[in-house]
Amino acid sequence: MVDSTQTGNWEDGSTWVGGVVPAEGEAVNIKNGHTVTYNSDDNTTRYGIINVQAVGILTISDTGNRTLKFYSLTQSGGIINVGSVGTPFNSSYTCTLKGDYTNFISGNGSSGSDRCNFYGADKTYYKTTLNGAVSATDTTITTTDTTGWTIGDTIVIQATNDNDTCYKEFERFKIKAISGTTVTLGEYDDDTTGDALVYGHASGAIVLNYNRNIILEYDGALTTAQCLHDRKGIVTWKNVMIVNASYTSNASSLINDRNYINMTNVSILPNIADTGYCMYFGSTAYLNVTMDNCFILTMDVGFGWTRNDWMSTEQESPNYIQNCFFWGWSSTGDGSNDYMFTTGDQPTNITFDSCHFAGTSNRVLSINDLASGLFKDCYIYASGNKAVYQNTAISEQNRKTYLIDCEMGYNQLGACRCVGGLVSTGRYGGVAFINCKFDSISSDTGWGEMETARFTDFNQTSGDNRLYMKGGYIKDDTTTKYATTNSLQFNPIAGSTRYMCFLIPLHFTTTGSKTVSLRGKKSSTGYSIHPFMWAWRRRDDTRSSKATFSDVDTNWNQKSVVISATAGDTWLLHVQVAYDLSRTFNIDDLTVA
């Protein structure tokens, strides 16, 4: 190991014990109180472990392109600086840090004083939109603006088609040429699709640019590479690009343990093997993450984000993610084949604000045991399975995940479906939907609360539909009704393979037997409609029993059930219609006595 002997430049022998600059394969130790400045663009020499001790500092200068290769870059309470808050790394140059070890940037997991400060140059435009629709086989796209974009940049084009393959239709390219706002597409290094579009994309589709001028790259041959690992400190990254982290099992391209992590304008382009997680935030205390305008492209597998735990053993630290894009892409064209986001088996406290989640052949959001989160103003779309799935095996659900003002089965341009339906929540109703917009919904064992949900049919102009699904639609009916009130009319579509469901929450402030009544009217006989009630106690989010109404008839006859309610209970009136029906029915006159 080569130790520093004083503050100085890396390339100056007097900085090092013995007066000799470290050589190929040698481990390097920057000792307490020393600041070593690296000034080279050496893409040949790979050092061993570079360790920065407490109060030691490694600084990468920005007077030219910089490349530093190593086995692993570690901190024992030290500081790594690439750019600073007031002076980001020079936009004319690129800093590339290349690691060749499982945990190629890591801490020692004990000191708590690590500081990892990476400040790249701002881009004029991190994203743009298509200025006109494009078709399959096109080799150019025209955008609204490409200021600051350069040849070689990696771009990803948003899937926009409302079809059963939309989750496969995110496309990735490198820029071959730019002329004004017209971009000529080039083949990405490991793609098999070449330099032409495979799918069409609508005008207004978002195009993300993933390039930044600080690059963290794994360039070894291992199947597991973690960009951050086992740290106790503060990580602040702005305008950083993470590439080629390949991993399997529980490894990931970004794994964190007991950190305060702040990421702005960070992009992640992993190179994923069979299984694993793009982002996996670890299983011990004091994890606090903030992300703003970050672009994460999951490839071949999805996030598995917080697959085990996003937790704090002593406190549930808040985590805030805003304006981020979580998109899936697959070199096989099959879509990312895991979950886009999944919580784990420990307490979770996280807020997503104004984010996009899309591009997985499985579920987009998978909520497990002790999740406590908020999704606000998010788009959740383009999946081969459910948009939101809550684990049905949960035995006791004492937390809740809220989705507020979210759109499911939609992107910013309109419908972009989740093929397997939108919502499937567990028997204890741990997911609440408030003022949300849905495209299609299917239900398995139960539902979460859907209080004050906005049910909107994206292609109806009258605005009277309460809920639209691929299996049909539900609307306020002013014609077929009981007495003077409007009724809810269910309009199944013959040949559909989707259930139709509607929920009405009933809140009880007193304890005792309650008679819940409604009237129904079928358009014809020959099929059964059985509304039923889930007993869902809001105070502890558990379900205790179920009550089923008798079959709705054709004459508005009243149907009633008696339930035993406790003050604070919320019961859900749940009307579900089997698929492949061609006859309508209405419900009306819901009363509680």
Structure tokens at 454: 């906005």
Give, in degrees to the nearest 5, the angle at Cα 160 between 463 and 246.
Answer: 135
Can you tell me the distance from the alpha carbon of 442 to that of 393, in angstroms, rounded to the nearest whole number? Answer: 18
Higher pLDDT, 4 or 366: 4
Q: What is the pLDDT of residues 134-183, one digit of tens each?
A: 999 999 999 999 999 999 999 999 999 988 888 889 999 999 999 999 99
Q: How far apart are CA 249 and CA 256, in angstroms?
A: 16
| Residue 178 included in any domain | yes
The answer to whether position 469 is within a domain reads no
Domain boundary, last residue among 184, 209, 234: 209
Q: What is the CATH number of the domain that holds 132?
A: 2.40.30
- Strands (E) in 251-396, as ranges, are 255-256, 259-264, 267-269, 280-281, 288-292, 295-299, 319-322, 325-329, 341-342, 348-353, 356-360, 365-367, 371-376, 379-383, 388-390
Q: What is the CATH number of the domain that holds 537?
A: 2.60.120.260
Q: Does some domain include residue 536?
A: yes
Burial code (b: 16+ CB inside 10 Å, e: under 16) for 217-234 equals bbebeeebbbbbbbbbbb
Domain with 135, as residue range(s), is 127-209
Distance separating alpha carbons of residues 382 and 325, to the nearest angstrom: 13
Higher-confidence residue: 591 or 66? 66
Number of domains in the chain: 2
In a domain, 491, yes or no: no
Query: Is residue 279 one of the residues assigned to a domain?
Result: no
Which is higher by pLDDT, 14 or 442?
14
Range with top average pLDDT, 47-51, 383-387, 582-586: 47-51
What percentage of the chain's residues is helix, strand, coil (to nearest 5)? Answer: 0, 45, 55
Domain final residue, candidates 187, 209, 231: 209
Please, what is the average pLDDT of the chain? 77
pLDDT at 335 over 80: no
Q: C-alpha angle with apex 97: 94 to 100, nearest 5 degrees?
A: 150
Please, which pLDDT band fits residue 509 given cuts at 50, 70 and 90?
confident
Instruction: Tell me whether residue 584 is in a domain.
Output: yes
For residue 482, pLDDT beyond 60: yes
pLDDT tens-digit series, residues 337-364: 566 776 655 555 678 899 998 888 777 8
Q: Among 148, 176, 209, identify where a domain stops.
A: 209
Please state, in angstroms and as integers, the Cα–Cα distance from residue 316 to each residue in 319, 368, 373, 554, following that order: 9, 16, 11, 54
In this prediction, residues 563-575 reach a mean pLDDT of 76
